[in-house]
Amino acid sequence: MLGHSYGCNKVIYYYYKKHPNILGIILASAPDMIGSHLLLEPDYKELLAEAKKNIDNNEPQKLLHKMIEDYMYMSSLTYYNWYNENSNLDNLPIISNKEHWKQFETIDVPILTFSGSNEEDYYQHLDLLKDKALNCNNFEYKIIENTGHTYKNKENEIANLIFDWINKNFNL
């Protein structure tokens, strides 16, 4: 199962809740949803309070008063679900480096993770992810040089990395 960016958090949560018959997990640009947002959004507490108020007033679909991260409008419910500190998506707390990563620690299948060398610093702590993958005995990571979050012009390199990892781990 593969996730990119926010999709990584969803993959981890899905595995944690369902523990499905998945042979391996690939995490591309795995984010710290809460930590990165706290760094990027100076109005975090105000927006969280606005979202909670709208939800409490039975207006969960009401859009927040400003764009999030300068590129998207978000409903109150979505914002609250994504960014409250008890969110199920707070499963890669790279910046706060909590002692236990409850969801992530349950993964007991091989993991491949990678990030671009031009991404923000908090995407590049792949060694920390390896340390926190307590039940995973096969964890590989790589920084892809000279690329960012979308891996533009690195499609073949990424495809080969994934293909080689699958062949090595699953004898396909």
67 plus 135 within the same structural domain: no
Strand ranges across the sheet with 2-4? 2-4, 25-28, 111-116, 139-144
Q: How far apart are CA 108 and CA 14, in angstroms?
A: 14
Is the pLDDT at 97 greater than 80, yes or no? no
165 plus 97 within the same structural domain: yes
48 plus 65 within the same structural domain: yes
Confidence label for 85 from pLDDT (cuts 50, 70 and 90) = confident
98 plus 164 within the same structural domain: yes
Cβ within 8 Å of residue 53, ≥6 positions away: none
102 plus 126 within the same structural domain: yes
pTM of the model: 0.89
Contact indicator for 150, 121 with CB cutoff of 8 Å:
no
Per-residue model confidence as pLDDT tens digits over 110-156: 999 999 999 988 888 999 999 999 999 999 999 999 999 999 999 99
132 plus 78 within the same structural domain: no
Confidence label for 88 from pLDDT (cuts 50, 70 and 90) = confident
127 plus 103 within the same structural domain: yes
pLDDT at 51: 97
Q: How far apart are CA 91 and CA 38, in angstroms?
A: 15
Taking each helix axis from N to C terminus, what angle separates 76-83 and 44-56, rounded to the nearest 10 degrees?
A: 120
Confidence label for 108 from pLDDT (cuts 50, 70 and 90) = very high
pLDDT at 46: 95
Please report, in angstroms and rounded to a whole number, the separation of the first and last CA atoms in the chain: 16
96 plus 140 within the same structural domain: yes
Q: How far apart are CA 6 and CA 78, in angstroms?
A: 13
- What domain count does the chain have? 2
pLDDT at 34: 86
97 plus 162 within the same structural domain: yes
104 plus 71 within the same structural domain: no
72 is in which domain, residue-wise?
38-83
Contact indicator for 74, 88 with CB cutoff of 8 Å:
no
Contact indicator for 129, 92 with CB cutoff of 8 Å:
yes
Mean pLDDT of 30-35: 89
105 plus 25 within the same structural domain: yes
Radius of gyration of the chain (CA): 17
Q: How far apart are CA 90 and CA 131, in angstroms?
A: 17
112 plus 146 within the same structural domain: yes
Q: What is the CATH number of the domain that holds 133?
A: 3.40.50.1820
